[in-house]
A and B are shown apart, each in its own frame.
Chain A
Amino acid sequence: MSEQAISQSNATTPMVEMRGVNKWYGDFHVLRDINLSVKRGERIVICGPSGSGKSTMIRCINHLEEHQQGEIEVAGLALTQDVKRIEEIRRHVGMVFQHFNLFPHLTVLENCCLAQMWVQKKPRREAERMAMQYLERVKIAEQARKYPGQLSGGQQQRVAIARSLCMHPEVMLFDEPTSALDPEMIKEVLDVMVELAEEGMTMLCVTHEMGFAKTVADRVIFMDQGQIIEENAPEPFFNNPQSERTQLFLSQILGH
């Protein structure tokens, strides 16, 4: 109830807001003056050459990386150094990694229950019910008792998505969720992501799956050398890219 009330009152505040964000690794300037505002329910695809800072940018949102300059707000909460605040923000943000990062010593079901039980303090029964519900939705409920090592890459990534959804995040971050997968498994993961997008989840996806971008994205962002070079709706982005670097990148990625 109260959660609904909060999300309604926040309906107009952006889900994620980055203002003048800069980050350095030593002398290396990875993020240069990033400004990005993501509305509730918005689906954003981020692309760009390798090493352009895409991962770093979305990892700043849940403070897996620390930015040095500028402000980040998630669901109206300012990201500070405070551990309590960081953990609060992480409760609003789900993340899916390129290499799945499932916990290999736990079964699929336990992977999905652990944070529910230890972070949200749910009883095991309730956590397991929730977990099965989401495993059902990613069509992998029959593997619940197996260990991650016994599943294929595509199955593991779907479990990772379910694990994240169990925490009821308001925004999902995807960092190249299909680039570690064999080609025949990419579709099963993308299908789940499309479904999630259709249900209205706020999503930031780093991906080079341009088909996915065209069908679900509200906005496509192109990054190069730590900067946001161009952003636009998919149709104009693909058909009429403005900057030379975007054109070059698109010709490389769509060319072959």
Chain B
Amino acid sequence: MIHNRTVIEARPAPTHTIGPVAWLRANLFSGPINTILSLAAIYLLVSLLVPTIQWAFIDADWVGTSRDDCSREGACWVFINARIGQFIYGLYPRHEIWRVNVTFGLFAVLIAWLAIPRLPLKRWVAVATLVVFPFVAFALLYGGRFGLPVVETHRWGGLMLTLVLAVVGMVAALPIGTLLALGRRSKMPIVKSFSVIFIEFWRGVPLITVLFMASVMLPLFLPTGMNVDRLVRALIGITLFQSAYMAEVIRGGLQAIPRGQEEAAAALGMGYWKRMGLIVLPQALKMMIPGIVNTFISLFKDTTLVMIIGLFDLLGIVQAALSDSRWLGFSVEGYAFAALVFWIFCFSMSRYSQYLERKLHTGHKR
């Protein structure tokens, strides 16, 4: 029997187990119920997508200067075009806009540097981003130094303000959140209870309340005549709120590091801050990145709440433009534009976090 083997010629794979037809059959039409569900879903998709595309692209008006240029059935993107400067820069003086562009260009370069794996000197770029960049950004945006004229914060608005709120909140919350997370694990009763109370207080309060309190209550506690800038008040509120969430993410990461790591560092004579800074946090940070990005995404969307204290972030300024009498009736375009911009930022962050998760999963060295 064994000697009687006949050689079978290699054959192409049967068409039904590979290729689009087989894929459709296996995944969408594998049984009567599955088929009905698939058809219903396809019907829904088509009946929603076709009119949307028709409205947003095919029947849309793109160029022009006033509402009279919008004669067709579909979306009037002329409105967005006419207002795009305001949507991005708020009331920032036109001839100073380059300062905003330089600031965010610089920020984009730094972030890209940190995000692209192959580039060297990551540690120094991270330090520059967290420590040096905030001062450079402030000098550029606010001015008053190096011969740059001052641009008061009430003129900041639009996407630029959204980014300022989100980035400051994120960057400032990292160190504060780290300290709070360490404090919550501390053996010192005062430090521990302070951290627990702080974290639980801010986590239990909605951001909208925090902002409201920051703008209405804070001035009551300050000595008369002392006035804190409205933007600064919002930033403080957002930072404290975000720190509490960050602290819990970081605490989760710290708990994942085996106790033996800290013990080995202690046995080598390293003190508390060295054990944390050199051994525990670097290992924990790697694991925490997806969680941190998630809180970033929520914060990014939550910044829209600053509207209630009279700051005009991207959504706020779009809404304000909607009530302009020359452009009444374009709220769908306005909200669609704001949604698209938010979506692009949040989706990019989300994709990056997924990429990191995959990378850490496969490339993690024990």
The residue from B269, B272, B274 contacting A90, defined by CB atoms under 8 A apart: B269
**Given A119-B274, A149-B366, A163 and B260 contact (CB-CB distance below 8 Å):** no
Q: CA of A114 to CA of B275 in the docked complex: distance in angstroms? A: 11
Question: Shortest distance in angstroms between A241's beta carbon and chain B's nearest beta carbon?
Answer: 32
A207, CB-defined interface residue at 8 Å = no
Interface residues on B, range: 20 to 34
Q: CA of A64 to CA of B263 in the docked complex: distance in angstroms? A: 7
Q: CA of A114 to CA of B282 in the docked complex: distance in angstroms? A: 14
**Given A87-B271, A149-B365, A104 and B283 contact (CB-CB distance below 8 Å):** yes
A167, CB-defined interface residue at 8 Å = yes
Would you call B270 and A118 a contact (CB within 8 A)?
A: yes
B261, CB-defined interface residue at 8 Å = yes
Would you call A105 and B286 a contact (CB within 8 A)?
A: yes
Binds B, one of A14-22, A94-102, A215-223: A94-102
List, in ascending order, chain A residues with CB within 8 A of B218's CB. Answer: none
Question: Shortest distance in angstroms between A95's beta carbon and chain B's nearest beta carbon?
Answer: 4
Which A110-141 residues have C-beta < 8 A from chain B? 114-115, 118-119
Would you call B269 and A101 a contact (CB within 8 A)?
A: no
List, in ascending order, chain B residues with CB within 8 A of A105's CB. Answer: 282-283, 286, 365
Would you call B365 and A97 a contact (CB within 8 A)?
A: no
The residue from A90, A104, A118, A150 contacting B267, defined by CB atoms under 8 A apart: A90
Question: Shortest distance in angstroms between B1's beta carbon and chain A's nearest beta carbon?
Answer: 43
Question: Shortest distance in angstroms between B287's beta carbon and chain A's nearest beta carbon?
Answer: 11
List, in ascending order, chain A residues with CB within 8 A of B106's CB. Answer: none
Q: Residues 152-181 of chain A: 1 if any B CB is under 8 Å from the residue's CB, otherwise 0? A: 000000001001100100000000000000
Would you call B263 and A101 a contact (CB within 8 A)?
A: yes
Q: CA of A202 to CA of B115 in the docked complex: distance in angstroms? A: 49
**Given A103-B279, A105-B365, A90 and B286 contact (CB-CB distance below 8 Å):** no
User: How many residues of chain A have a CB within 8 Å of chain B?
Assistant: 28
A30, CB-defined interface residue at 8 Å = no
Q: Residues 283-303 of chain B: 1 if any A CB is under 8 Å from the residue's CB, otherwise 0? A: 100100000000000000000
Would you call A90 and B264 a contact (CB within 8 A)?
A: no
List, in ascending order, chain B residues with CB within 8 A of A90's CB. Answer: 266-269
Which B90-109 residues have C-beta < 8 A from chain A? none
**Given A64-B266, A101-B263, A105-B283, A114 and B278 contact (CB-CB distance below 8 Å):** yes
- The residue of chain B having its C-beta at the shortest distance from the C-beta of A86 within the complex is B266
Q: CA of A115 to CA of B278 in the docked complex: distance in angstroms? A: 10
Question: Shortest distance in angstroms between A2's beta carbon and chain B's nearest beta carbon?
Answer: 19
Q: CA of A87 to CA of B260 in the docked complex: distance in angstroms? A: 17
List, in ascending order, chain B residues with CB within 8 A of A62's CB. Answer: 266-267
A93, CB-defined interface residue at 8 Å = yes
The residue from B260, B263, B269, B366 contacting A115, defined by CB atoms under 8 A apart: B269
A212, CB-defined interface residue at 8 Å = no
Would you call A95 and B269 a contact (CB within 8 A)?
A: no
List, in ascending order, chain A residues with CB within 8 A of B282's CB. Answer: 105
List, in ascending order, chain B residues with CB within 8 A of A167's CB. Answer: 268-269
Which B332-366 residues have C-beta < 8 A from chain A? 365-366
The residue from B264, B274, B365, B366 contacting A118, defined by CB atoms under 8 A apart: B274
Question: Shortest distance in angstroms between A12's beta carbon and chain B's nearest beta carbon?
Answer: 26
- The residue of chain A having its C-beta at the shortest distance from the C-beta of B274 within the complex is A118
Question: Shortest distance in angstroms between A201's beta carbon and chain B's nearest beta carbon?
Answer: 16
Question: Shortest distance in angstroms between B207's beta carbon and chain A's nearest beta carbon?
Answer: 35
Q: CA of A148 to CA of B261 in the docked complex: distance in angstroms? A: 13
List, in ascending order, chain B residues with CB within 8 A of A114's CB. Answer: 268, 278
Would you call B270 and A99 a contact (CB within 8 A)?
A: no
List, in ascending order, chain A residues with CB within 8 A of B261's CB. Answer: 101, 103
Which A27-79 residues have C-beta < 8 A from chain B? 62, 64
Q: CA of A149 to CA of B364 in the docked complex: distance in angstroms? A: 9
A83, CB-defined interface residue at 8 Å = yes
Q: CA of A167 to CA of B269 in the docked complex: distance in angstroms? A: 9
List, in ascending order, chain A residues with CB within 8 A of B268's CB. Answer: 90, 114-115, 119, 163-164, 167
Q: CA of A13 to CA of B261 in the docked complex: distance in angstroms? A: 32
Would you call B264 and A97 a contact (CB within 8 A)?
A: yes
List, in ascending order, chain A residues with CB within 8 A of B265's CB. Answer: 103, 115
A214, CB-defined interface residue at 8 Å = no
The residue from B260, B271, B272, B366 contacting A97, defined by CB atoms under 8 A apart: B260
Q: CA of A102 to CA of B105 in the docked complex: distance in angstroms? A: 41
List, in ascending order, chain A residues with CB within 8 A of B274's CB. Answer: 118-119
Question: Shortest distance in angstroms between B122's beta carbon and chain A's nearest beta carbon?
Answer: 13
Would you call A93 and B267 a contact (CB within 8 A)?
A: yes
Q: CA of A101 to CA of B365 in the docked complex: distance in angstroms? A: 14
With A93-B267, A104-B283 already in contact, 8 other A-B pairs whose C-beta atoms are closer than 8 Å: A90-B267, A90-B268, A90-B269, A94-B267, A101-B258, A101-B263, A118-B274, A148-B365
The 6 A-B pairs at the shortest CB distance, nearest first, are namely A101-B264, A115-B268, A149-B366, A95-B267, A101-B260, A149-B365
In the complex, 10 of the A-B residue pairs with CB atoms within 8 angstroms, ordered by the A residue number, are A64-B266, A90-B266, A90-B267, A90-B269, A93-B267, A103-B283, A105-B282, A119-B268, A119-B274, A149-B365
